[in-house]
Amino acid sequence: MVEKTRVLVVDDEKVVRDGCRRVLTGKGYEIITAENGMQALKILAEENVDIMLLDLKMPIMGGEEVLGKTRDAFPDIPVIVITGHGTVDTAVECMKKGAYDFITKPFQIDQFLITIGRAAEKRRLELKAKQFEAENIRNLYDLNLEKSRLKTIINRMANGVMVTNRNLEVVLHNPALMRLMEITDRQESPTPISEIIKDEALIDTLKQLLGGETMKDESVSQEIQLGKSALRALSAPAIDSDRAVVGTVTVLEDITAFKQLDQMKSDFVNMVAHELRSPLVAIRQINSVLLEGLAGPLQEKQQDFVKRGMNKIDSLLNLINDLLDIAKIEAGKYVQHQVPTDIGKIIEDIVVLMEPRAQKQGIVLTQLCEDLKPVQADPKRIEEIFNNLISNAINYSPEGGRVTVSAKGLGEYMEIRVEDTGVGIPTEELPKIFDKFYRVKNPKTRQVIGTGLGLAIVKGVVDAHQGSIQVESIPDAGTTFKVLLPVIVAKG
């Protein structure tokens, strides 16, 4: 509901007051009247008034005196002076003293309404401006309060926080950042990033974020070394309301303790694996001697028990070997000897090796290679990739299923696909299949024996060759693993 503009008519002549009421009420104004200046000042003190029509010649208190008191006490109310032809000069003087306008008696209705309308618009705009000013002050207060809260939160954080502008100047940082960077001097804002960050790889990442070389909703994680400390830096572009990159935000976390713990874990796994493998190998050799009858003939039941024992030993040895492989991958020592490698020949040899096993399980195994170029790779590790993927495809495919291995050149990359028509993988489990020790839970695959480390090793080897691996699957319809490996590009 729009509030009406309230007009106070101050005149000692009743006919003038009634005339103003009649004309203005019909135009949507709300009218209040006063017979003299004293009444007018009382009304102004007690009620809200938007405009005042003020007669100059009145008993008790004249218009000029009322104008002066109104200007002092209510400076925002437009005062329109009512005057006769003989006192126009006085009205002009009143305008110099602060009156908004004047009208002469007898009134010209059109001109009268225009003058009142201009005064009402002035009043409305002034009230609106005051409202905006009050909101602005409140917003500034809220903003300062929010900035104070934000600063308190950032300063209390254990992780380092660093915000840069487009010029790669640090405009916001917290004490934790200075502590991680081992900086004791006070840094003013803005500060060139080179004064705080010495790691060139991190600076290059921030330049890429500012240049829009990554998606605006993407963050980049990387590790940096500072003396004996290991830090993880998570950086993202700072975006304004127009989706423009205006800077970067980086959070740094000290992961030294986690790296040390991880190293202790790896050392422990290596120690346990080595200590277990030697006696297991010895036990397997003893069982092999028993099976071959070199220690005397065995009855059929005894042979069966020894064979079962050897199968369990083989499973443990496979687990130990996988654990050692994972430890080497995490240490960056698994893929070392890389030479120009013929991927097509490796795939062909593995398919030939797997063919009898596939036929025994009633599975059709086929291969197709085209437009292949050599890859700079470790042949033994590449063989492990496809041996694992093809073996899994056979294990998880039902009798009568198909496993297809294909490889083709795609410019600077080679794409190898291993497709099966097996039980598939539920969508919610796809992100987890490359995790260590993770195995898909499916009643149809309980008979398949594994350590849950095979795909983790595959991904580690692919990553070490600067490649990528993806998986697509539909439950009860099949799974496709897609591996991309960079090929050797001829120079010149």
- Residue 141 has a pLDDT of 65
Please give the Cα distance from 287 to 303 (Å, whole number): 10
Q: Where are the alpha helices (DSSP H) in 333-490?
A: 343-360, 379-395, 454-464
Q: What's the mean pLDDT when you consider all of the chain?
A: 83
Model confidence pTM above 0.75:
no
* pLDDT value at residue 461: 86
pLDDT-derived band of residue 33, with 50, 70 and 90 as boundaries? very high
Decide if pLDDT at 446 tops 60.
Answer: no
Classify 416 as helix, strand or coil.
strand
pLDDT digits (tens, 9 = 90+) for 163-179: 888 888 888 888 888 88
Sign of the C-alpha dihedral, residues 184, 190, 195, 196?
A: positive
Q: What is the DSSP letter of 73?
A: H
Q: List the domain boundaries for the chain.
A: 6-131, 158-254, 259-330, 339-486
The class that CATH gives domain 339-486 is alpha beta
Spatial distance between the Cα atoms of 237 and 230, rounded to a whole number of angstroms: 23
How many residues in the chain?
492
pLDDT at 403: 92
Q: What is the DSSP string of 323-352?
A: HHHHHHHHTT-SS---EEE-HHHHHHHHHH
Q: CA-CA distance, 42 to 59, in Å (whole number)? A: 16
The neighbour count for residue 216, using CB atoms within 10 Å, is: 13
Residue 367's nearest CA partner among 331, 320, 418 is 418
Q: What is the pLDDT of residues 347-402, one digit of tens each?
A: 899 999 999 999 998 999 998 888 888 888 888 888 988 998 998 888 888 888 89
The class that CATH gives domain 158-254 is alpha beta
Residue 91 pLDDT > 90: no
Q: What distance in Å separates the CA atoms of residue 296 and residue 285, rounded to the nearest whole number?
A: 15
What pLDDT sits at residue 8? 92
Specify the DSSP element, H or E, that contains 202: helix 200-210
State the Cα torsion 458-460-463-464 to the nearest 10°.
Answer: -110
DSSP class of residue 276?
Answer: H
Instruction: Determine the CATH number of domain 6-131.
Output: 3.40.50.2300
> CA–CA separation, 371 vs 376, rounded Å?
16
Quick one: average pLDDT of 438-447? 63
Asked whether 34 and 9 are in contact (CB, 8 A), the reply is yes
- pLDDT at position 142 is 64
Confidence check: pLDDT of 440 > 80: no
Higher pLDDT, residue 198 or 262: 198
Tens digit of each residue's pLDDT (9 = 90 or more) over 64-90: 888 888 888 888 889 988 887 556 677
DSSP assignment of 80-105, as one string?
Answer: EEEE-GGGHHHHHHHHHTT--EEEES
Whether the Cβ atoms of residue 63 and residue 81 lie closer than 8 Å to each other: yes
Helix (H) or strand (E) holding 402: strand 402-410
pLDDT of residue 480: 92
Q: In this predicted model, which residue has the larger pLDDT, 39 or 488?
A: 39
Torsion, Cα of 259, 260, 265, 271 (10° steps): 130
Name which of 227, 131, 133, 232 is nearest 183 in CA terms: 227
The string of pLDDT tens digits covering residues 316-336 is 887 777 777 777 777 666 666
Instruction: Copy the structure tokens of residue 16.
Output: 């003038």
